[in-house]
Structure 1
């Protein structure tokens, strides 16, 4: 009986084994059926094939393969839109055009990257047509320093541009705007003015290869390219040959008097015409008025553009697209001061410019140079903005907001709620998009990552979430957070949700600092470093001081400053967020983020170490600002009342803040060496930044507060 039982058990085991082998799933394979030869479609297919190769997935045609088919339907789908329809093992990717098909194929790749062997049906269309990155070139740069020149060789490498453009396509950016003072001398040599190009014919050929390759690669990825320049600048050889001014002796004097002689006007017309004719894959040009135009009225500046750039474009063999930066200067003191009369003048010109390919795009800086601040439009470059540009609605141009980032280059950032709210509040019928980028930082060479073992090769790869959040939400602001969680999870399995949520919390820190500090041009604030221009003479970039903080009127209309909080009437205070409430909110979500990532052990994963360290760094910076806000309230109470108890309270809070700064230094010192930043000037011996360097100022301020005797102080 026992023997029979054993035989039955053995038979059952054999049947189970046979069943397992017979039910074993076939290996996952992919097959692509494509009859479209458009380069954008081929790019999407190449990325799918690369994913399959890296994931060891066979690309074969068999009965069990995931069969991906491509189609274009411009009747039912708009430009750059796509639909994915899945039926069993068949995935039909249809685009409104070739770029839409590419986005659909890249979406399929992203879905498969999460580990699924099936693809969900979906349909997406662009919310905004103009989704641009601002990229300052390191040569003929707006500012001249070793920090920017460090990127020269990287930016001359077409492999860098290939990878950068791949990132743009993946994140659905569709415009690349390249900025420098005078791009033409490195692009063309005109017959009338060959001396304007200081290259030999052989050297110029190499530059032309770079430009042609860059413009073609961009076009193959559905990305338009624009060369944007500041204004009356020419090369030194040209200036010497014709005895004219080029401002080359002092490039930082951008507001200096430009030379409007006829020879420069004629050269500009020729350079613009030849650039357009010689580079058929270049989409368009852009101009900004003010620089190199000191002493000129707004009318004279606009006339200059009409006689040079516009006239040159009209002489070219094809039409181009055009970017016109506004506002113009109202005088000689500022290259961007706002004035209704100037806005009306500019609008008159824009309304009559019909010689370009499609609508003109006008660009306005959202909240000056610190777009990552309040989602409420408080000011543009130069001050407040009237409704001249959209009342009545324009017919041949659209407005796009410039989201200048002069606030964080080192620490990783991603705040999807901010971007969604920004789009919801600021996209109107006359707005067709955004520019995102910096003036003082070039995302090319990575000189910031100091530890070996990181997977990032280029600077933009460090800020992968910054570009992914901005690009994908500009395309579709309804993109759910689950998509970004999956992106984290693909990079850091088991930690994705924790990292995304913690980063989202602490990425509010620089937004709050910028919204409270109410900065203007580039160097007035560097949120990540808690430095900027303070009150006093001479102006210097240094730690945001307690005294200045107490006197600040915040940019964000939802916030109230320290003095209003202490002395304002009910109407001024009602419904507003007080400094204490803001400080408590900062403290709460920063501590939550610290607790969330505490258990993450990066071990040998250097990329994960950086993600965790950056979250901790933002959190400690937020806690520092939180405690300092409370110290500022107590400090002002001490100034007003001369009551020593408030002095002691201010000291207590600033001591707590100083402790948080020490923790910030402890987190960042092992992973970051001091790096040069433009905010601290161009001198190589003094422009290095690290939180450990600023710590001396943090400790000095605490010492100052302890020694402060308000009774002996004549004025605040």
Structure 2
């Protein structure tokens, strides 16, 4: 009855008109006002903007400390407690029959976030129950990592993939960026990091090297394949330049104007833009003016230094630059050593720009990847502005465990003067709509504190978060990935601003989005299906993206092992810090009668199967609901596919465990049990392939694992049964195994 009373009160409140007061000179407040306007319109209610305040409900947005304090004093409410950037307070007061809900903020982003809270309350019908609250960001910088496929001549790290090739034109569509950045703001992201091997020819004009600047936007007509180097060193091949098509006709001046507009739009949504590079790549400039990718080429050093200078001067709203001492640098110890080279190019290039613009501040972020911290700090000790580091927090797999251990070695060496960013890589889920609030909240809460961490940027290397091009039922134009996976982006963005947000908010959001489905049931099914990825990846660990793609039980066929067989599962390793025992550890303890000081393979299998069972049971009930929207139908389809995948992995682990016991004991019953489980795994895989291909095209090319063809892999899955039938006892060794492992920190 209590919940019903609140609901009826909210409905009664909405029967009245409202007045919205804000400063239209603040673009962030103006965006929030637009969202509030849309929310009222969707409910068929009227909204007067910056009127006389005669309406029974008045909404107020302030975007400066002075106006926030003045509004608080005028209303007789408490002032904003924390005037730091992005912070805001909501104050509610009722006087003379008028209910005022005020957002008190000291800056535009704070006003925007508070205004978005109001818009959300209007949509969810909870405006009448908003209480006095104060809000500050839990994580200061909350970002997206976006590998940008600019052009066939200036590719990113992911360009040998279907997603990249299909998205080149979108990177030059202002409509795309408007929608993308609006979605970022709605979910409280405030950093857009754009990653490229060598973007300068597509972004700037360099007076000393005028012919390097590229007009037009080109894509190769030469089909991509899985033979490209994992380092990106051959991302532009001579043959790919022999057949180019022009996607957009643009001069370099028009390109500059375009990216200035993108950065302005981002700033108007409280989003900072950064460009990140790998080194040394010279695609688009190679061969001009003597420029090569050789580390000891003085012409190349001069060119990079001038290009960095022009990048800063050309884009006043560029917040900073991120740099990598790889993937194409030599481990030299002379005057051309990697860190010395980076200082002479990026460091001095920024310094040159600052000589011309002394008031300009440029944040420089140096990745730990393929280098040594002491050498970084020594080379950049005289950098005058904010200088920070960047760490691959969960290597390539954010969907693993909520507390990745890899940063522990680095934490004692990270100072408050040179904090780090966390690269939160999502090379786990490319196809599906993921959604589990509990996992996301735990992951965020386990991140190191503000004394060590500035923020994070989240995204894949093996996929492009542009428009999706895999759906068998596409929208027109095709949906943005950030829009398709809105719930996942909402969870990670909103919880990283405030991890104390209750699950009730997400339930109400689901109820509003899918009124035809019971929200609690939908949330439970979604959360259960989504746990397939963390559970399998903590058990079967391949640290970098080319070593493990859980959607397909796959690694790169040339750079790793291709499809992972039951033999690989017997010999596989678990994620460091997960507390999970691999099969050989478990077998050894079982034989010795030792205590299992960790999660066993069979417990992992049980968890996978339990979550799959929960999801499939609830899906049957949800699908029985009449009049499902297309979005709900596709969302349920994703859950079904994830559940079948979970059942596949559960059966495969059980089969691998029994086969490992047979390898040790020679007992035929254990071998037969393994075969039965692997036959079950085959059945689950077929169900998975069917569910997957109902909604998604196959095969698809990804740059990190090559071709993925889930129905085509059925033969590989079936071969596991033959492997088990032919297995001979004593094949496996309990001896310690040497593993290839990425090293994200070197002191």
Q: Which residue of 1 aligns with 2:5?
A: none
Structure 2 matches for 1:224-623, cutoff 5 A?
224-236=272-284, 238-246=285-293, 258-297=294-333, 300-316=337-353, 317=357, 318-329=359-370, 342-349=372-379, 352-356=381-385, 359-379=386-406, 386-387=409-410, 390-391=412-413, 394-428=415-449, 429-451=451-473, 457-493=479-515, 494-532=517-555, 542-555=562-575, 556-568=577-589, 573-601=595-623, 603=627, 605-623=629-647
The 3 A distance-change label for structure 1 pair 130 and 711 is closer
Q: C-alpha distance in 2, partners of 1:127/1:571? A: 46
The 3 A distance-change label for structure 1 pair 82 and 25 is closer
Q: Which residue of 2 aligns with 1:104?
A: 114
Q: C-alpha distance in 2, partners of 1:679/1:196? A: 27
Instruction: Check if 1:652 corresponds to 2:676.
Output: yes
The 3 A distance-change label for structure 1 pair 132 and 543 is same
Give the count of matched residue pairs.
Answer: 652
Q: Which residue of 2 aligns with 1:135?
A: 146
Q: C-alpha distance in 1, partners of 2:722/2:551? A: 23
Please tell me whether Structure 1 or Structure 2 has the larger radius of gyration of its CA atoms: 1
Q: C-alpha distance in 2, partners of 1:444/1:510? A: 22
Task: Using the TM superposition, give the Cα deviation of residue 300 of structure 1 relative to its aligned residue in structure 2, in angstroms.
Answer: 1.1
Give the match's secondary structure for 1:531. Answer: coil
On the 8 A contact 1:162/1:217 being kept in 2, the answer is yes
Q: Which residue of 2 aligns with 1:338?
A: none
The 3 A distance-change label for structure 1 pair 306 and 590 is same
Q: C-alpha distance in 2, partners of 1:505/1:554? A: 21
Q: C-alpha distance in 2, partners of 1:268/1:403? A: 28
The 3 A distance-change label for structure 1 pair 489 and 574 is same
Give the match's secondary structure for 1:598. Answer: helix
On the 8 A contact 1:325/1:364 being kept in 2, the answer is no
Runs of 5+ unmatched residues, structure 2? 1-11, 66-79, 217-248, 735-747
On the 8 A contact 1:405/1:438 being kept in 2, the answer is yes
Q: 1:145 aligns with which of 149, 155, 160?
A: 160
More off after superposition, 147-156 vs 417-426: 417-426
Deviations 1:182-223 (A, max 9, x none): 122112112111022132896112211220111000000111
Q: Which residue of 2 aligns with 1:39?
A: 27
Deviations 1:317-341 (A, max 9, x none): 14333343332535xxxxxxxxxxx
More off after superposition, 603-612 vs 27-36: 27-36
The 3 A distance-change label for structure 1 pair 173 and 651 is same
Give the match's secondary structure for 1:371. Answer: coil
TM-score (norm. length: structure 2): 0.82
Task: Using the TM superposition, give the Cα deviation of residue 396 of structure 1 relative to its aligned residue in structure 2, in angstroms.
Answer: 2.4
Q: Which residue of 2 aligns with 1:85?
A: 91
Instruction: Check if 1:626 corresponds to 2:650.
Output: yes
On the 8 A contact 1:456/1:462 being kept in 2, the answer is no
Task: Using the TM superposition, give the Cα deviation of residue 609 of structure 1 relative to its aligned residue in structure 2, in angstroms.
Answer: 0.8
Task: Using the TM superposition, give the Cα deviation of residue 657 of structure 1 relative to its aligned residue in structure 2, in angstroms.
Answer: 1.6
The 3 A distance-change label for structure 1 pair 242 and 110 is same
On the 8 A contact 2:275/2:322 being kept in 1, the answer is yes
Runs of 5+ unmatched residues, structure 1? 1-23, 247-257, 331-341
Q: Which residue of 1 aligns with 2:16?
A: 28
Deviations 1:454-476 (A, max 9, x none): 99722221111121111111111
Task: Using the TM superposition, give the Cα deviation of residue 99 of structure 1 relative to its aligned residue in structure 2, in angstroms.
Answer: 0.6
The 3 A distance-change label for structure 1 pair 69 and 557 is closer
On the 8 A contact 1:406/1:439 being kept in 2, the answer is yes
The 3 A distance-change label for structure 1 pair 456 and 678 is closer
Q: C-alpha distance in 2, partners of 1:90/1:25? A: 12
Give the match's secondary structure for 2:214. Answer: coil
Q: Which residue of 2 aligns with 1:10?
A: none
Q: C-alpha distance in 1, partners of 2:189/2:13? A: 39
Q: Which residue of 2 aligns with 1:53?
A: 41
On the 8 A contact 1:371/1:402 being kept in 2, the answer is no
Q: C-alpha distance in 2, partners of 1:474/1:711? A: 50
Q: Which residue of 2 aligns with 1:67?
A: 58
The 3 A distance-change label for structure 1 pair 146 and 641 is closer
The 3 A distance-change label for structure 1 pair 633 and 300 is same
More off after superposition, 191-200 vs 133-142: 191-200
The 3 A distance-change label for structure 1 pair 33 and 693 is same
On the 8 A contact 1:375/1:422 being kept in 2, the answer is yes
Give the match's secondary structure for 2:128. Answer: coil
More off after superposition, 45-54 vs 214-223: 45-54
Give the match's secondary structure for 1:177. Answer: strand
Task: Using the TM superposition, give the Cα deviation of residue 557 of structure 1 relative to its aligned residue in structure 2, in angstroms.
Answer: 3.5
The 3 A distance-change label for structure 1 pair 187 and 661 is same
More off after superposition, 115-124 vs 487-496: 115-124
The 3 A distance-change label for structure 1 pair 63 and 143 is closer
More off after superposition, 77-86 vs 414-423: 414-423
On the 8 A contact 1:453/1:606 being kept in 2, the answer is no
Structure 2 matches for 1:690-701, cutoff 5 A?
690-701=709-720
Give the match's secondary structure for 2:143. Answer: strand
Task: Using the TM superposition, give the Cα deviation of residue 564 of structure 1 relative to its aligned residue in structure 2, in angstroms.
Answer: 1.3
Q: Which residue of 2 aligns with 1:164?
A: 180
Q: C-alpha distance in 2, partners of 1:611/1:229? A: 35
The 3 A distance-change label for structure 1 pair 422 and 696 is same
Please provide the CA RMSD for this pair: 2.7
Q: C-alpha distance in 1, partners of 2:572/2:440? A: 26
Task: Using the TM superposition, give the Cα deviation of residue 370 of structure 1 relative to its aligned residue in structure 2, in angstroms.
Answer: 1.7
